[in-house]
Structure 1
Amino acid sequence: MKLWRVDLFFIITIALLILCSAKPIFGQTKVETLLSSKQLENILQRYSLSNVDSLPLSMRLYHVSSFLEGAWLSKQDSLIYKGLMQKTWLLGKAKLYDSAIIYTHQLYDLAKQNRDTIYMARASNKLGIYYKKNNQLANAFNYYNEAFRISRIDKDTLKAGKILLSMANIQTFLGDYSGSKTTAVDGVKYLEHTSDIRSLAGLYHIISVANRQQKNYSEALKYNGKALALAKDSVSVRAVGVNNILIFKNTKANILADQKNYKSAISIFSELVSNPIVQKDKKEYTRVLSNLGYVQWLENKDNKNSETLLLNALDIRKKINDIEGLVTSNIYLTKYYLDKNKTKALQYAETAYQNAKKWNSLTSILKALGYIFELREATNKEAKEFKEIHIQLREANQSNREIYAVTRYENDKLTNENLVLKAETARKERQQVIYLFSTLFVFLIGVLVFYLYRQRLRREKIREVYNAEARISKKLHDELANDVYQVMIQMQNDQNDPEVLDKLEEIYHTTRDISREHNSFRTGEEYATELNGMLSSYSTNGTKIIIKDIDEINWQAINPEKKIIVHRTLQELMVNMKKHSHAELVAITFKKTPKGVVITYADTGVGVAAEEIIYSNGLQNTENRIKTIGGSFIFESAKGKGFKAKINFPN
């Protein structure tokens, strides 16, 4: 009864596996209806069940298939991606690689249709994995290359480096050590500055193995040392992986043995054989054990212990069905008996050949056939197979090189374009820096010019104040001090002299004129009135002042500084008129223009010939003042024809 139950469960499991992998969902007809929230919740529960590790793989595949059916009905690409990713992973876990490949192609096609490069890269990488597991190495390399190309375009350097590691592994397996080294070196460029030290160590290891096979032992040890150096502390040891570190040490011992440094190699192998971690891993333990036996034999062909170690390793590998290891053990034993017992050597060579065919290792098949040919005359069938495999291996390696060469060219081209773009960006940045510094330089020059201009104005103002003080002092001395002194003399001679009062009145008027020339005035709303008053104050019985259109000017729109300069300029003209011109009529006209204000001054004074005009302090001050507000001062005069001046300044 118990046996029947076991058989029934086994049959159901097989049936479910066949059901899950038989018909692609991709080919089913889509229903044009959307799922309700309850149905969506139900299919998501199916997905959750597919993730339960305690369930048999068959049940997990059943649940993810149900989820995927609902995902197609929902027409939500995110759910379809989720389902296909999960199903392909479970099929790969179940070693149903053919079915895994079918569903991964569906994932790739959907991603390509949506132009989704992320899932295109993931699908391509999965196809590389499953084709490799299925011993379809050419297809595996091609899809890995596609995944690498997309990752490179997407600038996912971490993914690109890991994919190159997978590609280099395939090339190593096919015996293309030159190609694997090139690919691995490219992978290092992507990963050497990342946190993925496990993949980086793997790339260093491949470069080391390639150099060993090419008999470049110094370089082999160099890159082996790089791989081991990555495990510098407990954290990095975990990151690289303890088993990987043991493999790297095993490779180091093999390189030393190739250099005939047998003692160092045997020392490393002996240490590894005693390692508890190695002893727990039968596959790794037999690898080290057989290597130790082989190197001991290389050191001493009469060493009996080496045969024991080789046979022990072979026996364990048979028990655990380690096909790859069986190939190595049989090749070692073939070499061991080659000169001692050709019959045994041939038996081991033929066994190595059979295991190599199971493992589908073309390089191992060729190696085994080579020993078979050496030990006995080859049959036509074996000779033909040797030739065909040799051609197949050569073509596979050539194809892989061509596939990657095209991608590498595209990558180099893209890199060059990026370098050109970076150079152009750098050039623009340099230009911006130049523009910035040029602007800053111009600004500083402007500030300097402005400062110097302000200093010049300040000096001119100081000179103007000094000149004004000098004029006042001169007036006080020339026009007042002498008159006061004369009055004092007259009063000493005759206090009752009637001319004394007249002289005192004249002194009073002179003092008032000096005060008027230098008094302050308002620049606000009363400005026009005060300016008009100042000009009118120079009117006497002998001089008539005509002021025209002063109120037509919008004085409120003119800043105070300009008003002050206009006032002082006109005052200077009026003072000059009174002192030198003796004019009977003075006309001052104000006119507004689109660009500013024009003030015209004209008098009927004595005038002066043009060749006799010498700039007085007053005229110089007048011109300097007007220039400070961006205006101009033009005058003309002729003897007997009066004096004319035109003042022009912007609003």
Structure 2
Amino acid sequence: MTKKNLFHFFKKNYIFLCLPIFITVLAFSFFTQFSEAKERQIQHVKKDRSAEIKQMQKKAYAFWDSDKNDSALFYFNKTQLLCEPKADYADYYCGSLNNMVEILQRYGNYYEAEATLIKAFPYLEKTTNTKYAVNAYTFMAYNYLYTYDYEKALYYHKKALKKAVSTFRKSRILSEIAFVYMHQERYQEAINLLEPIARVRYKIADKITPSNTTPLRAAILYNLGLSYLYHGNHKEEAFKCFDESLKLTLTLNDDYELIGNYHAFYKYYKKYNNPELKKINAEKAYYCAKRAKAASYEINMLAQLIEADNAENSRKHWKVYIKKVDSLIVSRKKAKNQFADAIYNSKKDREENLELKTQKAEKELQIERQKNRNIILYISIVFALSAFLFLFFHLSKKGKKEKKDAIYISEARISRKLDAELANDLYHTIALVQKEDLELSQNKNQLLNNLEEIYSKARNISKENSLITTDENYISELKEMISGYKTQKVNILLQGFDTVRWNQIEKNKKIILYRVMQELFLNMKKHSEASLVSVTLKISNNILTASYVDNGIGTKNNPLILKNGLQNVENRIKTIKGTITFDKNSDKGFKLSFTFPI
């Protein structure tokens, strides 16, 4: 394509069709690249960690099963730290936190347990099984029970009850609620809860883990027996509950569970004054706690044994009791330190890994951002160039059209003016030359007068359409133009023209003022029939005010003044943000004033 053809291509406005298509293609390209970058970022974040989490959780359960609770806590903590984003691994996250809380509660670290458990609450609704929510609320209830806040313990047990689905889980929670009632000495309410579920022994079964059925039955009977015992007047009912609970627990071969049963008989025989059986059951409870390595229960059962045994044996038990208490205090401190170290090390390891991953992600993100910035820059440059070309050709074409229109309008106006003002004079002058004898003095003078009139009108038309000087000669030319309308019958008074600092007024405003004055005096000459005209200029607060007054026939008797002349005047004044005021109904001359900022 040659340069000439290229010019014609743009000139014919094909660019207006190509620009939107070109910009659309670029925008689509940018959107595609941005979407790919976003997809890569999402894929990076959504990396599947299920296998790694399962492996870590397996290690935690292995240590837990072998009673290495500090190591189990460490790996449960690492498991929950791996669950990022937490919403995608809600089961593992909430399950690991529940296991951590169970370990912390076993060692009496209730405040750390509460802080840990709270982390799970925002994600309980995202788990796939209600057991996570039930367990979390139950553990929180235990935490408040152990810290003697029974109302909050009841609140969370009831939340767990609402979430529970199976009869087995609901029965277990009702038993726990009854246990809280016992601590509040609300024994009758506890009995009212426990009696119905104690009667339906064959309907309460854990279908998922059948081995849990017997321990729950034993626990329900144990709690019901204690409620009967504390409430009073239920001696036989209490004994039956304790006896059946003990028989069920013995089938489990679990010393830890037997502690409670023998402790219940110790309470029973203490209340009903049987010292021998009281001592026997205190001893059994103590030795079960010792074999189960439950230090807290061992100390409590030993305290009961001291109370139940004779004085000589009690002294021996007391020495052991003191050692056990000191040992428990030390061991709990060590356990807390180990747990703190485990959590700290796990967090530190996690933070270091996260820092490395974050640095890598930041670098990748910076690269993607740089790419996106480059794409945006390219689009901006192309768009700016396209807009520039569009504006260039559009404004060029518009300028040429406006120039042609202005020339056409100017030529038409001049043509009409020449036709209106000179055609008739020229016709009479030509007729005079053709028909009259120019040797006669009268005809010769008439010809000279006609030619002078034609020259004067042509000169005025020329001045009306000529360039206006805006330099230091401006005021002289303005006065000269106005004086051109002065005749023997028309007097013109100018005031304030020499007080205006014309060099402080913008060029375009000078031109507008010149044309407005020209329009006013032209209308006066054609329509007003005035014999006296006064024009006053004054400046106040950077506002120039011009007042025009004549003693002609006024606008009321000659509406042509408003129709023809003042329309142009008003339009010109508005272009320089000016205002104009005139009397439309005056029959005693014509008054007009206008203002504009300088």
SS in 2 for 1:475: helix
**1:285-364 map, 5 Å:** 285-300=217-232, 303-339=235-271, 340-364=273-297
Distance 2:472 2:73 in 1: 102
Shift, 1:294, TM fit? 0.8
Q: 2:116 aligns with which of 158, 169, 183?
A: 183
Distance 1:413 1:228 in 2: 41
2:592 maps to which residue? none
Shift, 1:314, TM fit? 0.5
The answer to whether the Cα contact below 8 Å between 2:53 and 2:79 also exists between their aligned partners in 1 is yes
SS in 2 for 1:142: helix
Distance 2:294 2:341 in 1: 21
Distance 1:307 1:149 in 2: 49
The answer to whether the Cα contact below 8 Å between 1:157 and 1:191 also exists between their aligned partners in 2 is no
Q: Confirm or deny that 1:220 pairs with 2:153.
A: yes
Deviations 1:533-566 (A, max 9, x none): xxxxxxxxxxxxxxxxxxxxxxxxxxxxxxxxxx
**1:57-206 map, 5 Å:** 119-151=51-83, 158=90, 159-191=92-124, 194-206=127-139
Q: 2:203 aligns with which of 273, 277, 281?
A: 277
The answer to whether the Cα contact below 8 Å between 1:175 and 1:363 also exists between their aligned partners in 2 is no
Shift, 1:264, TM fit? 1.5
Distance 1:290 1:349 in 2: 16
Shift, 1:177, TM fit? 2.8
**1:604-643 map, 5 Å:** 611=473
**1:418-497 map, 5 Å:** 465-487=408-430
Q: 1:262 aligns with which of 167, 170, 187?
A: 187
Counterpart residue identity of residue 140, structure 1: A
Distance 1:229 1:388 in 2: 42
Distance 1:416 1:294 in 2: 55
1:500 maps to which residue? none
Change in 2 beyond 3 A, CA 1:160/1:484: same
Distance 1:304 1:260 in 2: 20
Change in 2 beyond 3 A, CA 1:165/1:296: same
Identity within the alignment, %: 16
Shift, 1:217, TM fit? 0.8
Distance 2:303 2:347 in 1: 35
Change in 2 beyond 3 A, CA 1:386/1:246: same
Shift, 1:216, TM fit? 0.3
The answer to whether the Cα contact below 8 Å between 1:117 and 1:154 also exists between their aligned partners in 2 is no
Distance 2:428 2:124 in 1: 106
Change in 2 beyond 3 A, CA 1:154/1:198: closer
2:584 maps to which residue? none
Change in 2 beyond 3 A, CA 1:143/1:251: same
Distance 1:458 1:297 in 2: 109
Distance 2:154 2:350 in 1: 30
The answer to whether the Cα contact below 8 Å between 1:152 and 1:411 also exists between their aligned partners in 2 is no
Structure 1: tracts of 5 or more residues without a match: 1-114, 232-236, 495-574, 581-608, 618-622, 625-651
Distance 1:332 1:455 in 2: 104
Shift, 1:186, TM fit? 2.4
The answer to whether the Cα contact below 8 Å between 2:226 and 2:264 also exists between their aligned partners in 1 is yes
Counterpart residue identity of residue 471, structure 1: I
**1:483-562 map, 5 Å:** 483-487=426-430
Deviations 1:34-79 (A, max 9, x none): xxxxxxxxxxxxxxxxxxxxxxxxxxxxxxxxxxxxxxxxxxxxxx
SS in 2 for 1:338: helix
Greater relative CO, 1 or 2 (CA 8 Å, sep 6+) = 2
Distance 1:286 1:264 in 2: 20
The answer to whether the Cα contact below 8 Å between 1:286 and 1:313 also exists between their aligned partners in 2 is yes
The answer to whether the Cα contact below 8 Å between 2:137 and 2:157 also exists between their aligned partners in 1 is yes
Structure 2: tracts of 5 or more residues without a match: 1-46, 207-212, 438-460, 482-506, 509-598
2:335 maps to which residue? 396
The answer to whether the Cα contact below 8 Å between 1:157 and 1:190 also exists between their aligned partners in 2 is no
Distance 1:414 1:473 in 2: 90
- Cα root mean square deviation, aligned: 5.0
Shift, 1:328, TM fit? 1.6
Distance 1:337 1:453 in 2: 113
Shift, 1:313, TM fit? 0.9
Distance 1:301 1:400 in 2: 47
Counterpart residue identity of residue 374, structure 1: E
TM-score (norm: length of structure 1): 0.47
The answer to whether the Cα contact below 8 Å between 2:86 and 2:123 also exists between their aligned partners in 1 is no
Kindly tell me the number of residue pairs found equivalent between the two proteins: 367
2:593 maps to which residue? none
Distance 1:372 1:457 in 2: 115
Deviations 1:7-53 (A, max 9, x none): xxxxxxxxxxxxxxxxxxxxxxxxxxxxxxxxxxxxxxxxxxxxxxx
Counterpart residue identity of residue 263, structure 1: Q
Distance 2:204 2:112 in 1: 31
